[in-house]
Amino acid sequence: MNAELPENVGPSDGALARELDRDHVFHSWSAQATLSPLVIAGGAGCRAWDFDGKQYLDFSSQLVNLNIGHQHPAVVAAIRAQAELLTTVAPSTANLTRGEAARRIVGHAPAGFNKVFFTNGGADANENAIRMARLHTGRDKVLSTYRSYHGNTGAAIVATGDWRRIPNEFATGHAHFFGPYLYRSEFWATTPEQESERALRHLQRVIESEGPSTVAAILLETIPGTAGILIPTPGYLEGVRALADKHGILLILDEVMAGFGRTGRWFAFDGYDVVPDLITFAKGVNSGYVPTGGVIISEPVAHTFDERVFPGGLTYSGHPLAMASIVATLDVMEADGIVQNAATVGATAIGPALAELAERHPLIGDVRGEGVFWAIELVADRVTRGPVSAAVMAAARSGLLERGLLPFIQDNRIHVVPPCIVTADEVAEAIAIYDETLSAVEAS
């Protein structure tokens, strides 16, 4: 299926984009010499297209941030209107659009959260939440899981558990532990309840071994995203909250990827009996239309800085264009029932379809998720659960792209993460592409 491009746009623009990229752009998380990036020319809703007019169903949401889809007209119009009024302003000033954005954000937070510190994205949201926790408690250490990603700034990357932490371990005061992941249990658990019990016992021992009086915060992705869309086992988050309270430790929940509709709830933690002390966000709050993020701060932590200077700030904190995009995004999500759509599509379309897919394909070892936040875990053997090779994942990625789907591939998983506006028909279209691609990979 091809998209209609403007008359003055065509394949030569795609070739130029690729040439300029390879000549001048340095890409993140990559060895530069062998890169051959996909060129995207435009998008609308759940679809994007290249300069040849080939259309792709976007089931990556780019980096799991495009919750309202490409080019939502109301949000584009709001950014344009703000640009005509005031394009930028110092964060030390009061700005009406910034205040409206903050008001809407705390309107979805639990009671007792009334303040927002705006950042440029999710990494510096976590960075500043860690700083707040350390200053509030007077302690230094931050505990986070090995299966996690919290961003690419100094403390955030060291809080991250995956391989990207290792070449970047320059910040101090961090320790890691294993969270629940029943499919690949570190605790020899056989039931979800057993996994929770043993994971909490492990965390308790880590706290005791690190010294409870030295730990400022436990930082968790409510639902680890890049690490595998790991749905918390029953009672786990509540147990972490209890351990934090017992030892005077703050609980920071990272909702950068999981927040603002991705799980079919405004915040992922709304599905659990837990309230954190600090909430970090970015991505879905405005679908990434303009870079932004932030920390939602509970009253006790906010009051720490009533008479004490908070030693942090950013030139573009609460940038007017970003704030306008937040206001428009959250208003559209409420008016159009987009969060409920994510919940409904996940429960009635994505979940059942992926379960059926797993029955048909021996490559699929596990399927898990909720809302529009799912993972298909591919294995070489269902008994041993050994992951498939990088070559298999490369073949899967190529096959999906050839058939017109933009995938999110991580390790041995295909993450099924369309925009929250996705329809049941679009899900069916994507499932057919996954099915055909997996059949081709299995036959090769």
CATH architecture of 11-71+337-443: Alpha-Beta Complex (3.90)
Number of H helices, E strands in the chain: 14, 15
Q: CA geometry: angle at 240 spanning 215 and 269, to 5°? A: 120
Which residue do the tokens 């990036």 mark?
Answer: 37
Tens-digit pLDDT string for the chain (444 aa): 456 677 677 889 999 999 999 999 999 999 999 999 999 999 999 999 999 999 999 999 999 999 999 999 999 999 999 999 999 999 999 999 999 999 999 999 999 999 999 999 999 999 999 999 999 999 999 999 999 999 998 889 989 988 899 898 888 899 999 999 999 999 999 999 999 999 999 999 999 999 999 999 999 999 999 999 999 999 999 999 999 999 999 999 999 999 999 999 999 999 999 999 999 999 999 999 999 999 999 999 999 999 999 999 999 999 999 999 999 999 999 999 999 999 999 999 999 999 999 999 999 999 999 999 999 999 999 999 999 999 999 999 999 999 999 999 999 999 999 999 999 999 999 999 999 999 999 998
Instruction: Tell me the two tokens of residue 372.
Output: 């529009």
Q: What is the pLDDT of residue 1?
A: 47
How would you class 443 by CB atoms within 10 Å of its CB: exposed for 0-12, middle for 13-18, buried for 19 or more?
exposed
Q: What is the pLDDT of residue 21?
A: 94
Helices 424-443 and 351-360 pack at an angle, to 10 degrees, of: 20
Q: How far apart are CA 272 and CA 251, in angstroms?
A: 14
* 413-416 β-sheet, strand order: 364-370, 373-378, 413-416, 408-410
CB 357 within 8 A of CB 432: no
In sequence order, what are the residues at sequence separation of 6 or more whose Cβ sits closer than 8 angstroms to the Cβ of residue 215? 139, 141, 142, 143, 207, 247, 249
Residue 263 sits at φ, ψ, to 5 deg, of -90, 5
CATH 3.40.640.10 given to domain 73-335: yes
What DSSP assignment string belongs to 373-397? EEEEEEBS-TTT-PBPPHHHHHHHH
CB 39 within 8 A of CB 50: yes
CB 87 within 8 A of CB 290: no
In sequence order, what are the residues at sequence separation of 6 or more whose Cβ sits closer than 8 angstroms to the Cβ of residue 323? 82, 95, 97, 98, 100, 101, 118, 292
Q: How far apart are CA 273 and CA 256, in angstroms?
A: 20
CB 251 within 8 A of CB 222: no
The CB density around residue 332, as the number of other CB atoms within 10 Å, is 18
CB 130 within 8 A of CB 156: yes
Q: What is the pLDDT of residue 9?
A: 78
Q: What is the radius of gyration, based on Cα positions, of the chain? A: 22
Q: How far apart are CA 337 and CA 247, in angstroms?
A: 40
The CB density around residue 168, as the number of other CB atoms within 10 Å, is 14
Equal fold, 11-71+337-443 vs 73-335:
no
Write down the domain spans for the chain.
11-71+337-443, 73-335
